[in-house]
A and B are shown apart, each in its own frame.
Chain A
Amino acid sequence: MRNPVGRSISLAIAGLLVATACGGAGGGATTAPTASGGGAAALVAPTKPVEFVISTAPGGGSDIYARKMQAVIDTLKLSPQPVTPVNKDGGSGAVAFQYVYDHKGDASYIMITLNSFFTTLIVQKLPFKGTDFTPIANLALDPFYLWVNEDSPWKTAQDFITAAKADTLVVAGTGSKQEDEALFRRIQTIAGTKPFSYVPQSGGGTVAAALAGHQANVVATVNNPSEGKSLYGGTPRKLRPLCTFEPASPATGPFAGLATCTSQGLAISDYYIMRAIMAAPGLSAGQQAFWVDVFKKVSDSADWKQFVSDNNLNPDFRSGADFQKMVNDYQKLHEDIAKQFNWVQ
């Protein structure tokens, strides 16, 4: 056991050094497409090492998902070319989008996207559109819960709404003019509460910490279950979810039976963080089909399924027209919020 592990490490390190030394200059050798058939187009595999671009810093939300996917691709040898995670964080995703956009027609550039794929493109007025990228697939939907501190008197979403109508509440979320704020602004509109004082934080962990520590009067968040789980599971419990913004209660896991927000009079049940894959603009149908196939296999793997259930994600593989419809719906939803709250100056 020990020797093979040691050897693979030294090999991998050697490989890394070579990869770093070569920088982006790779390329050259071409491998024939490995698989064919399956869908309408023959699968065309990338011909040089693949960069799996991540729009957050190492350790951030989608970084973890991307690295897990990369580990599955690696273990199951789904790509003939090595796939390396590359962090291009900055500007809420703008740096990563620009980087992948600049590699038009190159199947060796894929990226993991979340809702910043909509919000950032709308708010920052970048010189390209979401539709420019080659859509691959959505793998999972990360639900939102409404969280309060364990010692909060509120037991249901209705209690929260009543309080929010009486006073301006301080709430926290990840980033500004992104998914967490989008959801709070929707709550504000639908339930007719006073405008929330929204405190942007740098990441899901700090959002949970702000709520758990009563920092700066923060009384509620809309963390994902995986972000709040640590502080929910410990003794003494520090955080507590009131409800989930899903159409149905989770059936299994630590949050099984959690009420839906809709059932408590807060009718939002269509909002998630997508955990989706986009590729460089202008890929051929064959190149696109190759990546759809790879991520379908990732999604079907036992390893990924375990990870999805450990982190309370909803498995939701969709590609093609189905994925396109979801992208279009989210585009519209975020454009409407951006317009309503003057996010674009």
Chain B
Amino acid sequence: MEFFNVFGDLAGGFATALQPFNIFMLFVGVMLGLVVGVLPGLGGTSAVAILLPITVIIARSSPTSAVILLAGVYWGALFGGVVTSILFNIPGEPWSVVLLFDGFPLAKRKGKPGVALASSFFASFVGAFLATVMFTFFARALADFALSFGPPELFAVFIMSFATLIGLGAESPVKAVMMISFGLLLAAVGFDGITGQPRLTFGQIGILSGIGFVPVTIGLFGIGEILASAEESGIGFMERLSAKVGFDDVIETLGELRKRIWLVISTGIIGFWFGILPGHGATAGSFLGYGLARQWSKNKEGFGKGEISGIMAPQAAADAAAVGSLVPMIALGVPGSPTSAVIMAGLFIWGLTPGPLLFTEHHDFVWGLIASIYLGHLLTFIICLLAVPLLASIMRIPYAILTPFIVLISVIGAYSLNNSMLDVFITIVFGLIGYWLRKMKYPLAPLVVAVVLGDSTERTLRQSLIASGGNPGILVGSPIAATLMALAIILLLLPLIRTIRSRGRHTDAGIDKDTVATAID
């Protein structure tokens, strides 16, 4: 019965979302989101926050139009964030950091920027569509289940992410562990929410909020890459750039998607689930998606060198997680991601209380929003696909001409994060560190993963231990936590076992070393 009601509700939602003014709001939101997504630094979260005062005016006539505008920005930023990651090795948004691993190599080293972009757009769309269907039918049940994910369960999930990603520098575990430690050390800097004390800040109030991973990754990848490229002048990639124009890339990508459809669907589902867990969202989901894609792939050596699965899986997870992060916000009043927290603030200001009562008291609002998620993604997807040939053609510009431009947007992007010169300084320092690490053949991926996930991992571990009075048994205390932890351990040991077994059969160290060398590019 309930099932059929959903179709009626959804039809009503579409009737609301398709009103001309709402379509207009959606279009404005999506376009703004695409713009802020493409620009590094100023992200979806801050764009939504900047728009809040304007939505107060709109919400007076219709809160549904206001939420459609804000959600549109979120979707636009999700799609737009990948562009600079893929083309310039600079993350446009936190959740597109992981696209640096394979997106840029595919665009630059393999000369297929169009395929790289289209892969991410297709995956975004499939992931988001899947997530929206799940949102439509199971929002409240899933949100309730997510409540049972406390610190021990979340810690197990983070350990799983680490486990899947640790193998990224598999051929030199020592270097990978060193990089993870360095990343954890960086993540420790700043205000410690558990003790309420500053940590490793040396009295500097400016770094109380910690060393942001966006300036760190802009430096490590964007600036670091430029320095490394400057050295290898003469190895132009122009000649390797495929001669395709028009939409051939899009059609090629469609074929690639068909081969990986199950991967995209499963990482989409995992991402959606990640988004629902309160307080996490797209970024962590994208990393787990990447790690799993690599674990499951037959072509592990291709990862880090422009493997299409390494673009599609994290992007499907990230977009599904973003949609998922609205679920607990709407159903429970607990936001699933920073951006959905801002949208929730909007609801309060417009006079709505998010939570279970929203479904009954503001029926049209909820279903109008759900319908607009379908429409918003469709709109964003079409705009992005149409833009692929244009965006891809940017890569035809000689790298020497692009370089100053990339440095410029890196610096502006870092500055615009908090309007602070400190972030610019961090970007430049990490650019030098990134260059040096490349020379020394240290893998960058484990470092980035640790910087991004270190803080949450540490917090959930300490919260668990406080709750149990120091007894580590709590980490496997619930059936969910125990299962997840067991999975994490299996995922961690698998590559090790595989390596030992393959070493036993034949020594292929020469090729392996080569893999590491290229994987860090």
Contact = CB atoms under 8 A, between A and B. Distances in A.
A91 B149 CA distance: 26
Contact of B467 (A13, A119, A208, A216): A216
Contact of B349 (A12, A68, A201, A202): A68
B209 to A, nearest CB: 3
Nearest to A119: B196
Contacts of A210: 150
Contact of A231 (B149, B206, B333): B333
A152 interface: no
A229 B355 contact: yes
Contacts of A91: 190-191, 198, 205, 208-209
Interface stretch (B55-63, B168-176, B267-275): B55-63
B466 A197 contact: yes
Given A24-B419, A85-B53, A216-B464, A230 B333 contact: yes
A275 to B, nearest CB: 13
Interface string B468-480: 1100001000000
A37 interface: no
Contacts of B332: 209, 212, 230-231, 234
B196 A200 contact: yes
A85 B474 contact: no
Nearest to A82: B53
Nearest to A2: B21
A6 B22 CA distance: 11
A221 to B, nearest CB: 13
Given A64-B345, A217-B467, A310-B351, A124 B419 contact: no
Interface stretch (B42-50, B297-305, B400-408): B42-50
B66 to A, nearest CB: 10
B23 to A, nearest CB: 12
Given A59-B338, A71-B349, A208-B334, A123 B147 contact: no
Contacts of B474: 216
B136 interface: no
B50 A205 contact: no
Contact of A67 (B53, B146, B278, B356): B53
A59 B345 contact: yes
Interface in A181-226: 197-203, 205-206, 208-210, 212-218, 226
Contacts of B24: 6
A16 B50 contact: yes
A215 B341 contact: no
B467 A235 contact: no
A147 to B, nearest CB: 14
B397 interface: no
B279 A202 contact: yes
Contacts of B149: 213, 215
Contact of A123 (B196, B355, B469): B196
A67 to B, nearest CB: 5
A5 interface: yes
A345 interface: yes
Contacts of B56: 71, 74-75
Interface stretch (A172-180, A257-265, A294-302, A323-331): A172-180
A64 B348 contact: yes
B54 interface: yes
A63 B57 contact: no
B17 to A, nearest CB: 16
Interface string B257-297: 00000000000000000000011000000000000000000
B58 A9 contact: yes
B279 A197 contact: no
A6 B150 CA distance: 44
Contact of B463 (A74, A75, A216, A310): A216
Interface stretch (A92-100, A104-112, A314-322): A92-100
A257 B3 CA distance: 39
Contact of A233 (B32, B334, B355): B355
B5 interface: no
Q: Kindly name the residue among B20, B49, B58, B335 whose own CB sees the greatest number of chain A CB atoms within 10 A.
A: B49
Contacts of A64: 345, 348-349
Contacts of A218: 150, 467
Given A70-B53, A216-B151, A216-B152, A175 B349 contact: no
B31 to A, nearest CB: 11
B61 A1 contact: yes
A170 interface: yes
A94 B463 CA distance: 23
A252 interface: no
B357 interface: yes
B354 A216 contact: no
B426 to A, nearest CB: 15
Complex A-B, nearest 3 residue pairs according to Cβ-Cβ distance, in ascending order: A215-B150, A234-B356, A230-B355
Interface of B: 20-21, 24, 28, 32, 45-46, 48-50, 52-54, 56-58, 61, 146-153, 190-198, 205-206, 208-210, 278-279, 328, 332-335, 338, 340-345, 348-349, 351, 353-357, 419, 459, 463-464, 466-469, 474
Given A16-B50, A67-B52, A124-B197, 11 more contacts: A9-B58, A12-B54, A23-B419, A59-B340, A63-B345, A71-B53, A75-B56, A226-B348, A229-B333, A231-B355, A235-B356
6 contacts: A91-B209, A200-B193, A200-B196, A208-B333, A231-B332, A234-B357
